[in-house]
Structure 1
Amino acid sequence: MASGTLLYAQSGGVTAVINATASAVIQAARARKVRVLAGRNGILGALREELIDTSRESIASIRSLAHTPGGAFGSCRVKLKSLDEDRAKYERLLEVFRAHDVRWFLYNGGNDSADTALKVSRLAKEFDYPLTCIGVPKTVDNDLAVTDCCPGFGSAAKYTAVSVREAALDVAAMADTSTKVFVYEAMGRHAGWLAASAGLAGNGPDEAPHIILFPERPFVEKDFFAKVRATVERVGYCVVVASEGIQDGSGRFVADAGGGKDSFGHTQLGGVASHLAGRVKDELGYKVHWALPDYLQRSARHVASKTDLDQASAVGKAAVDYALKGMNAVMPVIVRTSDTPYRWKIEAAPLSKIANKEKKMPAGFIRRDGYGITDKARRYMEPLIRGEAPPPYGQDGLPRYVSLKNLEVARKLPDWEG
Structure 2
Amino acid sequence: MATKNAFYAQSGGVTAVINASACGVIEAARKHPDKIGKVYAGHNGIIGALTEDLIDTSHESDDTIAALKHTPGGAFGSCRYKLRSFEENQREYERLVEVFKAHDIGYFFYNGGGDSQDTAHKVSQISEKMGYPITCIGIPKTVDNDLPFTDCSPGFGSVAKYVAVSIREGALDVASMCESSTKIFIMEVMGRHAGWIAASGALAREESADAPQIIVFPEIPFEQEAFLEKVKHSVKRDGFCAIVVSEGAQRRDGTFLADSGGKDAFGHTQLGGVAPYLAQLIKKELGYKYHWALSDYLQRAARHIASATDVDHAYAMGQAAVEFAIEGKNAIMPIIVRNPGEEYSWSVGQANLADVANVEQKMPRDFISECGFDITPKCRDYLLPLIQGESYPPYKNGIPMIAKMKKIKVDKVLNTHFSI
Normalised-by-shorter TM-score class: over 0.9
SS of equivalent to 1:5: strand
Matches of 1:338 and 1:53, distance apart in 2: 41
Per the alignment, residue 127 of structure 1 pairs with: 130
Per the alignment, residue 11 of structure 1 pairs with: 11
Per the alignment, residue 56 of structure 1 pairs with: 59
1:113 aligns with 2:116: yes
Matches of 2:310 and 2:164, distance apart in 1: 15
Q: Specify which of 249, 252, 256 is matched with residue 249 of structure 1.
A: 252
Per the alignment, residue 302 of structure 1 pairs with: 304
1:28 aligns with 2:14: no
Q: What's the CA shift for 1:86?
A: 2.1
SS of equivalent to 1:156: helix
Matches of 1:2 and 1:348, distance apart in 2: 25
Q: Is the 8 A contact 1:72 1:403 kept in 2?
A: no
Per the alignment, residue 284 of structure 2 pairs with: 282
1:213 aligns with 2:216: yes
Matches of 1:301 and 1:336, distance apart in 2: 24
Matches of 1:375 and 1:272, distance apart in 2: 27
Matches of 1:225 and 1:339, distance apart in 2: 41
Per the alignment, residue 172 of structure 2 pairs with: 169
Q: Specify which of 319, 323, 327 is matched with residue 325 of structure 1.
A: 327
Give the aligned residue type for 1:31: K
Per the alignment, residue 401 of structure 2 pairs with: 400
Q: Is the 8 A contact 2:215 2:374 kept in 1?
A: yes
Matches of 2:340 and 2:217, distance apart in 1: 27
Q: What's the CA shift for 1:171?
A: 1.1
Matches of 2:328 and 2:135, distance apart in 1: 6
Moved more, 95-104 or 126-135: 126-135
Q: What's the CA shift for 1:130?
A: 2.8
Q: Is the 8 A contact 1:151 1:308 kept in 2?
A: yes
> Aligned in 2, Cα 1:162/1:339: closer, same or farther, shift over 3 Å?
farther
Q: What's the CA shift for 1:128?
A: 2.5
Q: What stretches of structure 1 move > 4 A for 4+ residues in a row?
A: none
Give the number of aligned pairs: 416
Per the alignment, residue 272 of structure 1 pairs with: 274
Per the alignment, residue 230 of structure 1 pairs with: 233
Moved more, 81-90 or 13-22: 81-90
Q: What's the CA shift for 1:326?
A: 1.7
Give the aligned residue type for 2:402: Y
Q: What's the CA shift for 1:403?
A: 2.4
Matches of 1:90 and 1:276, distance apart in 2: 45
1:391 aligns with 2:398: no
Q: What's the CA shift for 1:249?
A: 1.5
Give the aligned residue type for 1:417: S
Give the aligned residue type for 1:179: T
Return 5+ residue gaps in structure 2 as ranges.
Answer: none
Q: Is the 8 A contact 2:124 2:133 kept in 1?
A: no
Q: What's the CA shift for 1:204?
A: 4.4
Q: What's the CA shift for 1:225?
A: 0.8
SS of equivalent to 1:103: strand
Q: Is the 8 A contact 2:334 2:351 kept in 1?
A: yes
Matches within 5 A, 1:359-370: 359-370=361-372
Matches of 1:342 and 1:79, distance apart in 2: 36
Q: Is the 8 A contact 1:2 1:32 kept in 2?
A: no
Matches of 1:104 and 1:247, distance apart in 2: 41
Cα deviation, 1:372-414, whole Å, max 9, x if unaligned, reads 00000000000000000000001x2001112211111100112
Q: What's the CA shift for 1:57?
A: 0.6
Per the alignment, residue 264 of structure 2 pairs with: 262
Q: Is the 8 A contact 1:54 1:406 kept in 2?
A: yes
Q: Specify which of 146, 149, 155 is matched with residue 146 of structure 1.
A: 149
RMSD: 1.0
Matches of 2:324 and 2:136, distance apart in 1: 9
SS of equivalent to 2:137: strand
Q: TM-score, normalised by structure 1?
A: 0.98
Matches of 1:194 and 1:393, distance apart in 2: 28
SS of equivalent to 1:240: strand
Give the aligned residue type for 2:273: G
